[in-house]
Amino acid sequence: MSYEAVLAELLALREQVTGVTETAVAAVDGLLVAADTEIVRPEVISALAAAALGLGKRTGYETGLGDLREVVIRCGRGHVVVYSIRDEGLLVVVGDEGLDVARLHVVSRKTVERLAGLLVEETPRPA
């Protein structure tokens, strides 16, 4: 099942990166696909992450800084990081103060690649 595979990716990310506490995958419009969450509301974080991603992309475009890598929100008690999955989806990662941000950026690149493979369109079957 695709859902199980997406969830397995989220669990693997939490296992591999110290400080990751919750994750979710959503369509780029904020519609939830799968979540590994504990406290945050999956639908809400998906919608907010979509808004943050859109804002980040637009800001990057306006400032001429090139393509968006990720959106990082740092708060007193942790981080929220949003990655784009091609043009169709997003991965949002919530972590605590000790989040290993450097490792997250390394590990998440491959996670995003695999999620893209799981989420994007298949070749339509012949009618």
Partner 1 sequence: MTAPEDTGPLGPELLRCHRENFTGLLHVDGTPGGSLCLRDGRVIAAATPAAPGPEVLLLRSGRVTEQEWTSAYDSALPSGRLAAELAERGVLGAAGVEALCLLAIADATFALAAHGVRAVLREPARPDTLPPPLPLLPGMDPARLLRETSRRVRALAGWADLGVTVRVRPRPATTVRTHRIAPDRIQRVIVGAVNGRRTPRDIAFAAGRGLYVVMREIARLTEEGVLEPGAPLGGASASDGAETEGPGGLPRRRRGASMINEMLPRPRVGGPLKLRRLRALPPLQPSVGSEEENGEKKEGGE
- Phi/psi for 38 (5° steps) reads -125, -50
Q: CB of 70: closest distance to partner 1 in angstroms?
A: 18
Angle at 81 between CA 71 and CA 96, to 5 degrees: 145
Q: CA 15 to CA 103: how far, in whole Å?
A: 12
Task: Give whichever of 65 and 98 is closer to partner 1, judged by the CB atom.
Answer: 98
Residues that bind partner 1 (CB under 8 A): 1-6, 8-9, 11-12, 14-15, 18-19, 21, 27-29, 31-39, 42, 76-77, 88-89, 96-100, 103, 110-111, 114, 118-123, 125
> Which residue, 82, 109, 116, 113, is CA-closest to 16?
109
Angle at 47 between CA 3 and CA 52, to 5 degrees: 115
Q: CB of 58: closest distance to partner 1 in angstroms?
A: 19
Q: What are residue 22's DSSP bridge partners?
A: 94
Q: CB of 63: closest distance to partner 1 in angstroms?
A: 27
Q: CB of 121: closest distance to partner 1 in angstroms?
A: 5
Task: Give whichever of 19 and 56 is closer to partner 1, judged by the CB atom.
Answer: 19
Task: Give whichever of 14 and 68 is closer to partner 1, judged by the CB atom.
Answer: 14
The CB density around residue 94, as the number of other CB atoms within 10 Å, is 23
Task: Give whichever of 11 and 65 is closer to partner 1, judged by the CB atom.
Answer: 11
